[in-house]
């Protein structure tokens, strides 16, 4: 008689990088204007919608990348990894942290 296998632990949820988010946003920049034209919007209106989506996607990409870099820097600082924050004039000095002085 076969023995039951112990319940395996579920895999931890995968982290979504900003690249994945930007890829889906780029897909929507193409898909949304096509859907707008199919449902009767003028081509000019669909082009303006696409340009607006591209602009918003670009700004979001910049903000997501900046956020990831900040999080990585903070994590490195907490783990004691030598980083820009530990050098004189590093991140603490720029942020006005009193402890850096």
pLDDT along the chain (101 residues), means of 10: 58 66 87 93 92 92 90 86 55 54 48
Residues 6+ apart with CB under 8 A from 99: 92
Any idea how long the chain is? 101
| Token pair belonging to 12 | 């931890």
Predicted pLDDT of residue 19: 79
The whole-angstrom distance between residue 70's C-alpha and the CA centroid of its chain comes to: 12
The predicted model scores a pTM of 0.57
Predicted pLDDT of residue 82: 59
Q: Are 52 and 44 in contact (CB under 8 A)?
A: no
Predicted pLDDT of residue 1: 61
Predicted pLDDT of residue 54: 92
Q: Are 35 and 49 in contact (CB under 8 A)?
A: no
């Amino acid at each position: 008689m076969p023995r039951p296998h112990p319940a395996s632990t579920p895999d931890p949820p995968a982290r979504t990088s900003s690249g994945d988010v930007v890829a889906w946003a780029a897909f929507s920049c193409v898909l949304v204007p096509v859907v707008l034209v199919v449902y009767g919007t003028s081509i000019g209106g669909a082009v303006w919608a696409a340009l607006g989506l591209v602009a918003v996607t670009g700004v979001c990409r910049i903000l997501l990348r900046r956020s990831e870099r900040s999080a990585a820097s903070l994590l490195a600082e907490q783990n004691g990894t030598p980083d820009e924050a530990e050098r004189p004039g590093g991140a603490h000095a720029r942020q006005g942290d009193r402890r850096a002085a």
